[in-house]
Amino acid sequence: MKDSADLRFLLTIRASENLLAAARTLGLTPSAVTQRLQQIERRLDVRLVDRSARRLRFTEEGELLCTRGAVLIEQFDALLDDLHARRGGMVGTLKINAPLGFGRRYVAPAAAHFQELHPEVDIALTLSDEPLTEIADRFDVVVHIGELRLSNLIGYAVAPNARWACASPAFVKRYGMPATPEALAALPCIALPENNEDVTLWHFSKGRTTRSVRVPGRLSCNDGDVIRRWALEGRGVIVRSEWDVADDVARGTLVRLLPAWKLPDANVIALTHQRTGLPMRTTMFMRHLQARFRPVAPWRVR
């Protein structure tokens, strides 16, 4: 391992589905990628990648090298960024991941404004609803909504966000207003698969009383905008984030059900890999993002 370039090369391969994809990213031919990989393996006298599998699969030693190497690269880049920052500027690429709907409505404008304020910083924003464990390593900042399960990531509060059960006025007129959470089990409901949760088991609380209800998820979609539209069309009950349906409830196009019962909050948080040693661009973007939701989150301004 001669220098950080070899580590960066291996990390690019690790982030790719196959050698051909890695070659395209690196701007090399597949044979050149293979040759360089073999040279690194010969120098280390250890096999790093199992190339017999249909997809690239790193050996245990290869995973160890990439995992620890990624930390070293991050620290090295942070050092260079800090040196640049001492000269009064911010440079480099900031890689951000955010959920599809929230990212479109709130993170994308914040990222564009941040880049306008700091033109030497390049922004790479990716919107997706992949499970957190599958995408976190590829980004500097991950915007996450909901409970943060076991993770080694560091969370920073961005904005409060409740979850509401909602349906259209036409749906309520047809089926009636449910009086208890248990009544939802007899109504058409719409499920939103996210964060690897059990999406048809809805949890409610009122004071010290809790209720968990298994609802019939006759319709489901991983796109929150789709299930919101289905609810507006009167197709079922949804549980959706306050940020997404507060305007509909205010306009009367959706009705909040069981307002005396509370669903688990789904607060907005921003995640990074470490608390200290972050590049200046990452720290400043985090502050920029938080400032856009203070003193009151826009979905709570009425």
Contacts of 237 (CB under 8 A, 6+ apart): 165, 166, 167, 171, 184, 187, 188, 189, 190, 215, 231, 257
| Single residue among 74, 105, 130 that ends a domain in this structure | 74
211 and 167 within one domain: yes
- What is the tens place of the pLDDT at every residue in 155-182? 899 999 999 999 999 999 999 999 999 9
- Mean per-residue pLDDT, 61-71: 88
pLDDT at 88 over 70: no
Q: Do residues 245 and 179 both lie within one domain?
A: yes
Which residue has better confidence, 213 or 62?
Answer: 213
Residue pair 268/103 in contact by the 8 Å Cβ criterion: no
Our count of domains for the chain comes to: 3
What mean pLDDT is reported for the chain? 88
Indicate which CATH number applies to the domain containing 97.
Answer: 3.40.190.10
Count CA within 13 A, CB hemisphere, residue 201: 5
209-245 residue pLDDT tens: 999 999 998 899 988 999 999 999 999 999 999 999 9
Can you give the residue range of the structural domain that contains 250? 163-257
CATH number for 19: 1.10.10.10
Total Cβ atoms within 10 A of residue 43: 11
Tell me the Cα Rg of the chain: 23
Residue 12 lies in a domain: yes
Buried b (16+ CB within 10 A) or exposed e, 164-192: bbbbbeebbeebeebeebebbeebbbbbb
Q: How many residues are there in the chain?
A: 302
Residue 232 shares a structural domain with residue 247: yes
User: pLDDT value at position 229?
Assistant: 97
Angle (CA) 302 160 127, round 5°:
100
